[in-house]
Structure 1
Amino acid sequence: MKMTTVKLKNILKERFSNENYRTSYNRDKDTFRVEWKDSKQGITITLPNVVSKYDERGKVAIDDLTEHVEEALRIMNEEHHLSGKEKHIFPVIRATSFPTETKSGEKMVYKDHTAETRIYYALDLGKSYRLIDESLLEKEGWTKERIDEVAAFNLRSLEIDYKKDTVAENDFYFVAKQDGYDASHILNEAFLEEMKLNAKGELAVAVPHQDVLIIADIQNKTGYDILAQMTMKFFAEGRIPITSLSFIYEDKHLEPIFILAKNRPEKK
């Protein structure tokens, strides 16, 4: 069956026919919105994007979308607490272009990281998580310092698995557990220091999207070019892109690098 936005709209309308939901279709923008009747909080779906995924993956794409929207709506309708959930708070890396406010105007809790990245904080809810905003902090009586300390401690408690690949005598390590916190391991200083200690050459890292951390032991000039191509590819394919730039890790600091035609890094 050839999928169109109109057909998709009808499928979604049927799937979200729950009496607690209200659905609407914006013909001009080609979007479909599902929201709670009472609170009017909801999700807006860009239909042409889903049609493209359907063309690639078939019905599975619509099933995944339905599950994602249902989970997001559930989270919106629940009251969340930090106290008693301390072990479920983690840092997440986002691009500096990522919003600092929710759509309802609540300010997000975040911390500057590099010129390309910021640290936000997530309350893990099992299948998904909620990014923490300042109103939740105030309601719980928490400070930004406390949320940062708790999140950093929990991150260090996560097991780190990685796969290794050697290309042109350069070693690349990929942390890709896909638990939502792969890129967050760039904040684990002890881990980076261990990798630096065991590196034969210069250590570089990249967080092209949320679900991968690339660590590169660069042992020749070609290694920088390989890392740049690799990072750009991951960045283009990522569900939540972060940055296509790589970083040199030196003296516990991250310095963005640019890959030039001569395969040589230049510090920003």
Structure 2
Amino acid sequence: MDSKKMRTIIQERLNRDDWSFNYDREKDELRIEDRITHKGMTLSIPGVIAKWNMEKDQAIDEIVYYIKESLTVMTKELELTGKEKQIFPVIRSTSFPTESNEGIPLVFEEHTAETRIYYALDLGTTYRLIDQSIMDREQWDIERMKEIARFNIRSLDYTLKEDKVAGNTFYFLNKNDGYDASRILNESFLLKVSQQMKGTMAVAVPHQDVLIIADVENETGYDILAQMTMSFFANGRVPITALSFIYEDGKLEPIFILGKNRPMNNGKKKD
């Protein structure tokens, strides 16, 4: 599958009179926009091909569905008041844009050295990130947004799947509701899980649809976690970070896991 063929398939699947398509040959990106509002999204063709190489037509089906839902939502004027139960935090990497494609600042706050917290209005089959224009129009402030979003994230399902490998225990949360990684913001949940740990507690959010918690009891556990996190990161629809975090004293600290070694934290080997 080459770039031209993939681009043709996507455009044919998304063919609508009210949408325009612009291809950037240098970046190998396809921009899909609403002709009236000029709101849209940019698709990395190499990224789509990489996903297609693993999942074939299912990958295209998912991407087409995601684009259709997202562009439909973008043309609607959002309202927050009266929809408080639909507001959730979403985790993104620090490289994620801080403005919408129209240049409007998105509402976000810093989280760790690797992650930021954005806010979204859930619309059922998708969600839309909240920008400052929506906040200003409805006269909301960030503290109100944070309080509501954190309350809503605590109301979700936190059932974990468990897997034991080489004397270490790995827990996975994968509900595919768009907020799996966001559950890392539930401090009471992390504290409760930490009390069950026999070894060191590590947490990873490689992409938005998975939260990994590891009970690391030996050095092999760190290597397994690093490989696992990288694999999820490479295959996720919305990648966040390939680094893991040590959870200690209620805080998350990014770690660099070097093969066959313990993690490096701020340049120092963890004892």
Q: TM-score higher than 0.5 here?
A: yes
Partner residue, 1:26 = 23
Q: For residues 223 and 52 of structure 1, what CA distance do their matches in structure 2 show? A: 28
Mapped pair 1:9 → 2:8: yes
Q: Aligned residues: percent identity?
A: 53
- Alpha-carbon shift at residue 4 of structure 1 (Å): 6.7
SS of equivalent to 1:106: coil
Deviations 1:84-114 (A, max 9, x none): 1100111111111111111111101111111
What residue identity is the alignment partner of 2:86?
A: H
Aligned mates of 1:256, 1:4 — CA distance in 2:
36
Matched residue, 1:220: 218
**Matches for 1:167-182 after TM superposition, within 5 Å:** 167-182=165-180
Equivalence map 1:1-268=2 (5 Å): 5=4, 8-9=7-8, 12-13=11-12, 15-18=14-17, 21-26=18-23, 28-29=25-26, 31-47=29-45, 49-50=47-48, 53=51, 57-268=55-266
The superposition leaves residues 32-88 of structure 1 with CA deviations (integer Å, 9 ceiling, x where unpaired) of 543323222223444555455556555444443332222122111111111011001
Point out where structure 1 has 5 or more consecutive residues left out of the alignment: none
**Other structure's SS at 2:195 match:** helix
Cα distance change, pair 104–15 in 1 and its aligned pair in 2 (3 A): closer
Superposed displacement of residue 17, structure 1:
3.3
Indicate the larger mover: 33-42 or 157-166: 33-42
SS of residue matched to 1:256: strand
Q: CA deviation at 1:233?
A: 1.4
Whole-angstrom distance in 1 between the partners of 2:37 and 2:55: 33
Q: Distance in 1 between matches of 2:165 and 2:245?
A: 19
State the distance in 1 between where 2:43 and 2:95 align. Answer: 21
Q: Greater Rg, structure 1 or structure 2? A: 1
Compute the displacement of 1:262 (Å).
Answer: 4.4
SS of alignment partner, residue 118 of structure 2: strand
Aligned length: 265
The 3 A distance-change label for structure 1 pair 233 and 58 is closer
